[in-house]
Amino acid sequence: MRKYTIVLSKRAKKILDTLSDHIVEPIHNAIIALEEAPRPVGCKKLKNRDAYRIRIGDYRIIYEIIDNELIINIVTVGHRKDIYRN
Q: Within 10 A of 33 (CB to CB), how many other CB atoms are there? A: 12
* pLDDT value of position 48: 85
Domains of the chain by residue range: 5-79
Among 37, 55, 53, 34, CA closest to 45: 53
CB half-sphere exposure, 40, CA atoms < 13 A: 17
What pLDDT, in 10s, does the model give residues 16-27? 999 999 999 999
Question: Residue type at 12?
Answer: A
What pLDDT, in 10s, does the model give residues 32-50? 999 999 999 999 999 988 9
* pLDDT value of position 82: 85
Report the CATH superfamily, name and number, of domain 5-79: RelE-like (3.30.2310.20)
